Amino acid sequence: MLLPLALSFCALAAASPLVQKYRPLVLWHGLGDSHSSPGMLEFASLIGEMYPGIFIHSIYIEQDADADRKATFYGNVNSQVDMVNEQLNDIPELKDGFDAIGFSQGGQFLRAYVERYNDPPLHNLITFGSQHMGVSEVSECRRYDFLCQIARRAVKNGVYSKWAQGNLVQAQYFRDPSNLETFLEANHFLTSINNEVAPIDGRNETYARNLASLEHLVLVLFTKDVTVIPKESAWFGSAAEPDESDDSLTVMQEKILGSTTSGEETTIIPMRRQPLYLEDWIGLRTLDEQGRVILETCEGEHMQIGDCWKPLVKKFVGSPA
């Protein structure tokens, strides 16, 4: 069984008598990845070189790497976030707070942790290509990735069924702009963390208060992303409902970011025109008006991070503990 990544970096810190104490860092990997994949280990190692002795914990649903990868496709996201809350509470090094980086769906799952718990507190959250407003298409799988292909077919065949909404991870952030009524009725994860469904006694004020307590929320969009559709979801943008088409929005999107899908024009509702922003359902507007929402881009396709992470990690990670 693989040990959690944090243990190896904790040992590294203890072995060095000249270590500077940095605020701990938490990572949450994306779809089809695991807490101890070669890519995650390399990324953590590079940050360790940048901040010698920093404590890094890589979130896992299962400690076995193969099982952890499977859990990115199959499972109940609300239950997974609950589990991660318990996991983070059991790590003494995190008790005074931490920064975090979320890759793809790991970014919106970390946001769910902040809104629902945030104890221990998260200070700076960086999300790379995360589906904060969901996806309106299910992404393609690699040719021989059969686990992904089976999950993709299941999502497409019954995305809003009770079973899919409780067991297929991608289905739990699938947001069809042409069928929002069904989405709002069936979905119990994305509608919750975006505070889209208000109960009789009003929206969850804890969500807004907790998110607004972040020092910074850094939202990174991949300019040629065709995995997250629309890619502007990384910046809290969403595809408009068919009857909400607005030429000015389409032109603005085309000039700044290019087409959402190959050659097609898609009307995008940007973050500052979203109801959840205008009415501040999750504290996003409060953060933004205080200059604490940072919109960044990485050139390339989904998760082609290259070196674009380095200035962000230098600025938003590594504060003294």
* Residues tagged active-site: 104, 225, 302
Task: Quickly list H helices, the chain.
Answer: 5-15, 38-50, 65-70, 77-89, 105-116, 146-158, 162-167, 180-186, 190-193, 205-212, 247-257, 275-278, 284-289, 309-316
Respond yes or no on whether the N-terminal peptide bond of residue 230 is cis (omega within 30° of 0).
yes
Backbone phi and psi for residue 130, each to the nearest 5 degrees, phi listed first: -85, 150
Distance CA 223, CA 221 (A): 6
Tell me 21's DSSP state.
P
Distance CA 52, CA 31 (A): 29
Distance CA 270, CA 267 (A): 9
Residue of 49, 57, 45, 52 whose CA lies nearest to 14: 52
Residue with tokens 């914990």: 57
